[in-house]
């Protein structure tokens, strides 16, 4: 699976895409990449042009300064092609295993995010907060980088807006909800520091076939086979009920709102999203078929039949 992912990155560069994004998951079959920055480093080494980002590195389970050090290394080694995306994560067993605890998830994200930003902006940092306290240290290497923040709640949207950080919006929401989130961000951003351009991103499923009927049929057959058992891997660290979702209804939603279909339908969907939301950067989950040969074919067809028409 990991070798297949690296091969997909190489094919995406050959197909003309601007960037690829790597997710982080722990202790579950939904993803087999526990370190997005590690796989990003391999991807950087195997490519020469394409941007590589994390979507996302989970900030609640690691030290912000250590993550900033890794990001700075990748920034320099890639010639500036690396983008660090971070998220709060969830109340999962990861917090127990890595020892950061539930409080870091419940209350500590703002402090973690601020420390990360400081470590990516300055040549030396110190901390005197609730979760982090240490004397001044030099950031070696240092890098001037702006992280992207995954936003799935009003509180995180507000945090990102107050700091002027770009958002990554998830594929679980449609265009209208994305547009509403962007409006909420703009209001909070203007109130905090005035208006300014911020390059937000959104995620979606991308799958092209000879017809929309074929594409939808293939996605509805393949996605539940790995998504249903995978999503069950989100195990809460405390006694709260685990997340529940009707996977087949979710797949229906994904096929309806994202570029899944013929090349024409994919183009229409992407342009509609851009028009409704104002977003100019879409990242696509292209491995839905669950088969490497079909994934690579999908990447190549998206690059040849869809990408030139939406640039």
Domains of the chain, each with CATH number or no CATH: 1-150 (3.20.20.30)
pLDDT at 197: 63
Per-residue pLDDT of 118-160, as tens digits, reads 999 999 999 999 999 999 999 999 999 999 999 999 999 999 9
Distance CA 253, CA 173 (A): 9
pLDDT of residue 30: 87
State both tokens at 274.
């851009």
User: What are the structure tokens assigned to 41, written together?
Assistant: 């480093």
pLDDT surpassing 90 at residue 175:
yes
Mean pLDDT over 164-179 rounds to 97
C-alpha distances in angstroms, 208 versus 171, 253, 302?
17, 16, 7
The pLDDT score that the predictor gives to residue 241 is 86
Question: What does the pLDDT read at residue 155?
Answer: 96
Of all residues in the chain, what percent carry a pLDDT higher than 70? 98
Q: Looking at the predicted structure, is the pLDDT value of residue 18 above 70?
A: yes
How does residue 77 score in pLDDT terms, banded at 50, 70 and 90?
Answer: very high
pLDDT at residue 138, rounded to an integer:
98
Residue 239: the pLDDT is 86
Query: 59 φ, ψ to 5°?
Result: -80, -25
> Per-residue pLDDT for 264 more than 80?
yes
More confident residue, 176 or 231: 176
Helix (H) or strand (E) holding 58: strand 57-58
Q: Who's near 264: CB < 8 A, 6+ residues apart?
A: none
242/228: higher pLDDT: 228
Which of helix, strand or coil describes residue 3?
A: helix
pLDDT greater than 80 at residue 195? no
List of residues 6+ apart from 307 with CB closer than 8 A: 15, 16, 17
* 227 contacts 247 by C-beta, under 8 angstroms: yes
Mean pLDDT computed over 52-72 = 98
pLDDT at residue 196 in the model: 65
Residue 135 CA to residue 125 CA, distance in Å, equals: 8
Q: What is the mean predicted confidence (pLDDT) over 81-110?
A: 97
Q: What is the arithmetic mean of pLDDT over 10-33?
A: 96
Report the pLDDT value the prediction gives residue 199, as an integer from 0 to 100.
93
| Residue 42 confidence (pLDDT) above 90 | yes
């Amino acid at each position: 699976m990991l070798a297949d992912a690296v091969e997909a990155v190489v094919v995406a560069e050959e197909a003309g895409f601007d960037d690829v994004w790597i997710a982080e998951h722990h202790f579950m079959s939904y993803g087999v990449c526990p370190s997005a920055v590690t796989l990003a480093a391999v991807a950087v080494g195997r490519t020469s042009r394409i941007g590589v980002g994390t979507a996302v590195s989970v900030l609640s389970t690691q030290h912000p300064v250590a993550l900033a050090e890794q990001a700075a290394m990748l920034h320099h080694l890639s010639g500036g092609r690396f983008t660090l995306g971070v998220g709060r994560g969830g109340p999962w067993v990861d917090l127990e295993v890595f020892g950061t605890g539930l409080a870091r998830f419940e209350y500590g994200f703002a402090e973690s995010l601020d420390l990360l930003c400081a470590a990516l902006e300055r040549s030396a940092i110190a901390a005197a907060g609730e979760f982090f306290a240490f004397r001044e240290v030099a950031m070696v290497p240092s890098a001037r980088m702006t992280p992207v923040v995954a936003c799935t709640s009003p509180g995180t949207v507000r945090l990102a807006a107050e700091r002027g950080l770009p958002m990554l919006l998830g594929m679980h929401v449609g265009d209208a909800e994305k547009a509403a989130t962007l409006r909420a961000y703009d209001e909070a951003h203007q109130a905090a520091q005035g208006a300014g351009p911020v390059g937000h991103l959104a995620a979606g499923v991308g799958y092209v076939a000879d017809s929309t009927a074929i594409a939808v049929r293939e996605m509805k057959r393949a996605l539940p086979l790995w998504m249903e058992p995978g999503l069950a891997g989100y195990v809460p660290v405390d006694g709260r009920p685990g997340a529940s979702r009707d996977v087949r209804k979710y797949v229906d939603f994904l096929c309806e709102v994202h570029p899944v279909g013929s090349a024409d339908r994919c183009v229409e969907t992407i342009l509609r999203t851009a028009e409704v939301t104002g977003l100019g950067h879409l990242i696509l989950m292209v491995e839905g078929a669950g088969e490497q040969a079909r994934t690579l074919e999908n990447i190549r067809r998206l690059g040849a039949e869809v990408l030139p028409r939406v640039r």
